[in-house]
């Protein structure tokens, strides 16, 4: 199976869906090959020996984006992987075009209300959102998504990721996802 690249704004559920799909791929009854989920930011951090926040503060965004692009290409060097990309990954260094040429790109989309709730709940873990009140966060979400849409819209598929809250919703979403792209995954 060619690599699957999950793209989309922060909070859309790339990690949640990617991990769940990889777990399903480990079940021989699905007929899918054994899948591995790779989180691109985690890989960059491991390679650099520091957090994304530290890379930005010590070396700047340009160096981070260079590391991110290199790591993306390493992550997708083999088949049977699902790569959860950072929200900005498709927007830099020709990454979107490269991902489209290498595998299946899927734009995860969550409604503004769901994103606002998820990101408000996870605000402490996301340095970029620190100190924003609810209204400022809502404006930020809208502006950033609009800014990134030209890249995200180049994905081969779109997937509604609003229903990734409970175990049942995640299981249902995985089934829906696999049914949508069955012919593209095998």
Domain positions in the chain = 4-176
DSSP state of 9: S
The label of the residue with tokens 């989920």 reads 37
Q: What span, in angstroms and rounded, lies between the C-alpha atoms of 79 and 4?
A: 9
Residue 163 confidence (pLDDT) above 90: yes
What is the phi/psi pair of residue 66, to 5°?
-65, -45
Which CATH code fits 4-176?
3.40.50.300
**What's the rounded mean pLDDT across residues 40-45?**
94
> Residue 43: CA atoms inside 13 Å, Cβ hemisphere, count?
18
Residue 142 confidence (pLDDT) above 80: yes
Residue 29 confidence (pLDDT) above 60: no
Confidence band of 127 (pLDDT split at 50, 70, 90): low
């Amino acid at each position: 199976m060619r690599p699957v690249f999950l793209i989309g704004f922060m909070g859309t559920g790339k990690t949640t869906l990617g991990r769940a799909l990889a777990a399903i791929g480990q079940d021989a009854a699905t007929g899918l090959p054994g899948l591995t989920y790779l989180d691109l930011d985690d890989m960059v951090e491991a390679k650099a020996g520091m957090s994304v926040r530290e890379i930005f503060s010590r070396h700047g965004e340009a160096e981070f984006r260079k590391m991110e692009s290199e790591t993306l290409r390493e992550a997708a060097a083999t088949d049977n992987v699902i790569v959860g990309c950072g929200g900005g990954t498709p927007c830099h260094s020709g990454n979107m075009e490269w991902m489209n040429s290498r595998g299946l790109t899927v734009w995860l989309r969550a409604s503004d209300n769901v994103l606002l709730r998820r990101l408000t709940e996870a605000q402490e873990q996301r340095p970029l959102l620190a100190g924003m009140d609810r209204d400022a966060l809502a404006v930020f979400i809208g502006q950033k998504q609009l800014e990134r849409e030209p890249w995200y819209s180049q994905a081969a598929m779109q997937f509604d990721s609003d229903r990734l809250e409970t175990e049942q919703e995640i299981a249902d979403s995985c089934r829906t996802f696999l049914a949508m792209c069955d012919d593209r995954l095998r």
